[in-house]
Structures are given as structure tokens and as C-alpha cells.
Structure 1
Amino acid sequence: MTTLAGKQVLVVGGTHGIGRAVAEAALAAGAVVTVAGRSGSALPGATQIAVDLAAPAQFAGLLAGLPVFDHVVFTAGARIGSPKFADADLAEWRLGFEVKFFGTIALLQALLPRLAVDASILLTSGVLSRKASVGGITKATLNAATEALGRNLAKELAPRRVNVVSPGVTATDIWGSGAARDDKLAGIAGNLPAGQVVQPADLAQLYLLALTQPAMTGSVLDLEAGALL
């Protein structure tokens, strides 16, 4: 395995949730971290830039002056619901793809000249890509497309490495706050083989593994507390 010490790491979506946990773990591992996002509190020790994946025309200007990156992590996405197919709002469905899928593609295209020749790229999908459910179709199709993107980029961008992390239910602020959040997550945990949901700090270690394992590319890495069983 390689080390992140002194490496330039960009975390898109790194101002909150899973991305923030990844950025914190990379900082702790000695990386020079830049976080990008639309909102969120500053992360001490990291450089922060404002990026909206739904506005690709801004990318060229935003990237000017940034360093060459050794690793790029994408965790950003639009918050979309979980409707049944008959009730799915196509505008919301399109927004999900516009931000997490097409926005990632556009930003990655803009970043290619700023990636080291041996850089790694890490995308984020989700357990619904391979777990069929009533109400999961919008997120399932988006996550499955992300996994297909990662595998194809691993071929096309080699020797740069491309991998995908697929989390299960993770205890982030997307679930709200307070007792209602805790009760909701406890109910989900009770139906999982591991008896718990995924913790952001634990998930971040899987991201760091993908960044530092030089023989890993084209992989989809699961951390989902047994939800796929």
C-alpha cells in the first residue's frame, strides 16, 4: 500500500456527510486536502472551494490555480426521494442524474489535465444499485449508472485507477437529528445482519483503502452492514 502523506486529495462533497468524514480521515493520514461543495462548515486544515455540480460552465474558472491532484473523491449528490415508480417525478429523477452523474462526468473531464499520471479516482454509488426495493428505483438506477461509469473509466483512464465505494445506510445528517433520527436508524439497524448501520468514520477508512491500494482498480467496494445478504 502507498501512503497519503503529502499527497494532494480533492474531496467533492467534502463539506458534510460521508465526504467530510473522508476529508477528515485524509487529513489525519497526512494528505493535503481540498474540499469542494455548495455548502457546509469549513474543515480546519483543508482548503475549501465552492462547487455546484449542476453548473459545469463554472468548472474551468474554479479549477484555475488548483494543484495537480493525486486523488479525487466524489461523494456529492442531490437529495432525491424514494417514490414508487408510478409516482416518480421525472424532474427530480433528472436532477439526481444531473448532479451526481453528469455533474461528476463534467467535473472529471475538466480535472483530467490536473490529475497526476498515477492518480486515483473514487466514485460513490450505494447499496440500492444491487438491492431491488419498492421505492428505490430512482436511486437504484443512478447508483448502477455510477458503478458502470467507474468500471469503464478504469479501462479508459488507465494507468490512473478508478474505483467505486457503495455504502449502505450511513449515520449522517441526511437522516435528520435528535431522537427521531436515532429511532429511525435504530429501526433500520435492527433489520441488518450486523445489527448496526454504517458509521461515517468507518466508511472513510474504506475510501482510504481504495486510495492507497495500488493494485485496486475497477472495483466496487461494499460497506453495508449485510444489507445485500
Structure 2
Amino acid sequence: MSSVVVIGGTSGIGREIARHRAGRGDEVVLTGRDAHRADTVAKEVGAALGLGLDLSRPHEIAGALTEVGRVDHLVLVGVSRDDNRVTEYDIDAAIHLVTLKLVGYTEVVHALRPRLHDDSAIVLFGGQAKERPYPGATTVATVNAGMTGLVHTLATELAPVRVNAVHPGVVGDSPFWSDKPHEALIARTPTGRLATMRDVVDAVDFLLGNRSVNAVNLSVDGGWLLR
């Protein structure tokens, strides 16, 4: 049994990771911005504990994690959807997302560092907007690209703790994408199918479990970037 912390585990892929690991018998702590929802989801998926934690408020992160003990596996999934363009730049929205992912993720690792050990593993979440931006992805593409640098510096500084990242493409059955048209996206994907939440969960398991995989930025997109 492993102790697993899922930051951003109340919905979508984060919830699936928490549910999957709890179902395997692991001791799971999940977090979400709303403490009541985090507690409710924890009970629903069989997690040991649900905590309120807002990644965009990094000064409060350490206090929110005081109940967390030893950490074998840490998964940082939390994200905020952002539509921001240079032509109509929303500075507050940009600061929120940059703080959430680049500062918030790093502060979680900082706060939990004393509870990690030599065999611990961390997985960060980026995304393929870093490689194929779209109109409105000004900040999203930037912070997802920043995950690559963050993986490298954390893997260096925290060694022998392993640090990797997963960069999903379009996840067809996720809450954000499930009700959107998929035909054109599938046509551009060599596998002829979009990634699923289960595919992403499997990728996270691989990155956490393989003790020789370190400082890797893993794409989970069916080869979508080839076309």
C-alpha cells in the first residue's frame, strides 16, 4: 500500500486518479479548492481524506497540508481553464493561472518535502497546448511549457526523488471535452481515437511506478502532434 496525494482530485482526471488509487487499496489524500466538496468526493471515491487547498493562494498551501503524513506518490493535477489573448489581455487571469501552476505546484512540493523519502515520486500535469497553441492559449501554453523546466529543476534538486510530467492531448471522455465535437480531432490523431481518462491514469501509474523513469515529459495524445 502506498500513500498518495492528489492535488486537484475532486473532478475530471484528478478524481479518476484518486478513485483508481483508492480502489487499489492505497491511502489517498485528495484536495480541491472547496473543503466541503473535497471531503464529499473523498468519501465517494474511497480516499482517506479530502482537504481544501487553493493553488492560486500559495501562502496558504503549507497550512492546508498539515494533516498529510508520509508521501510515497504526489500527483499535481489542479488546473484552471483560461481563455486569454494578447490582443485582449486579462492580466488578473494570467497572474491567477501562472500562480496556480508554476508557484502553487512548487509550493506544494516545498511544503511536502519533509514528508517525501528517497523512493517517492512526483507527477506534474502539463498539456499539449505547449506544442500546439490555439487562440486563447496565451497563458495556458506558457505555463504548460513551464512544466518542462519545473520537472528538470525539481528532479535535479530533489534527487533521488523522481519527478516527471504527463502532457495529455485532447481527452475525449473528460468533462471538458465529452460534449464537444470530436470528428476533426480524431481525423488528426494517428491512432484514430482520442486519449481517454483511463489512458492518462495509466500513464501516471507508469511514471510513478517505474523507478528508472525520471525527468521525463510524457505525451499522451495518440500521436496527435504528428499531424
Pair in the same fold by TM > 0.5: yes
d(CA) in 1 for partners of 2:58, 2:134: 32
Tell me which stretches of 4 or more aligned residues in structure 1 moved more than 6 Å.
none
Is residue 2:116 matched to residue 1:121? Answer: no
The answer to whether the Cα contact below 8 Å between 2:195 and 2:221 also exists between their aligned partners in 1 is yes
Aligned length: 218
Give the match for residue 110 of structure 1. 111
The answer to whether the Cα contact below 8 Å between 2:61 and 2:108 also exists between their aligned partners in 1 is yes
The answer to whether the Cα contact below 8 Å between 1:53 and 1:103 also exists between their aligned partners in 2 is yes
Identity of aligned residues (%): 31
The DSSP-based 3-state class of the residue aligned with 1:69 is coil
How far off is 1:132 after superposition? Answer: 4.3
The DSSP-based 3-state class of the residue aligned with 2:200 is helix
How far off is 1:134 after superposition? Answer: 4.2
The answer to whether the Cα contact below 8 Å between 1:74 and 1:124 also exists between their aligned partners in 2 is yes
Letter of the structure 1 residue corresponding to residue 123 of structure 2:
L
TM-score calculated relative to the size of structure 2: 0.88
Give the match for residue 146 of structure 1. 147
Give the match for residue 75 of structure 1. 77
Name structure 2 gaps, 5 residues minimum. Answer: none
Give the match for residue 184 of structure 1. 181
d(CA) in 1 for partners of 2:89, 2:184: 25
The answer to whether the Cα contact below 8 Å between 1:122 and 1:210 also exists between their aligned partners in 2 is yes
d(CA) in 2 for partners of 1:114, 1:126: 28
d(CA) in 2 for partners of 1:57, 1:73: 20
The DSSP-based 3-state class of the residue aligned with 2:69 is coil
How far off is 1:222 after superposition? Answer: 0.8
How far off is 1:157 after superposition? Answer: 0.5
Point out which structure has higher relative CO (alpha carbons under 8 A, 6+ apart): 1
Q: How has the CA–CA distance of structure 1 residues 59 and 138 changed in structure 2, closer, same or farther, with 3 Å as cutoff?
A: closer
Give the match for residue 12 of structure 1. 7
Give the match for residue 223 of structure 2. 226
The worse-fitting range, judged by mean Cα deviation, of 37-46 and 137-146 is 37-46
How far off is 1:13 after superposition? Answer: 0.7
The DSSP-based 3-state class of the residue aligned with 1:166 is strand
How far off is 1:159 after superposition? Answer: 0.3
Of 47, 65, 68 in structure 2, the residue corresponding to residue 66 of structure 1 is 68
The answer to whether the Cα contact below 8 Å between 2:23 and 2:46 also exists between their aligned partners in 1 is no
Give the match for residue 3 of structure 1. none
The DSSP-based 3-state class of the residue aligned with 2:50 is strand
d(CA) in 2 for partners of 1:85, 1:8: 42
The answer to whether the Cα contact below 8 Å between 2:76 and 2:124 also exists between their aligned partners in 1 is yes
The answer to whether the Cα contact below 8 Å between 1:186 and 1:196 also exists between their aligned partners in 2 is no
The answer to whether the Cα contact below 8 Å between 1:129 and 1:141 also exists between their aligned partners in 2 is yes
Letter of the structure 1 residue corresponding to residue 212 of structure 2:
A
d(CA) in 1 for partners of 2:202, 2:146: 24
Is residue 2:137 matched to residue 1:136? Answer: yes
How far off is 1:44 after superposition? Answer: 2.8
The answer to whether the Cα contact below 8 Å between 2:199 and 2:220 also exists between their aligned partners in 1 is no
Name structure 1 gaps, 5 residues minimum. Answer: 1-5
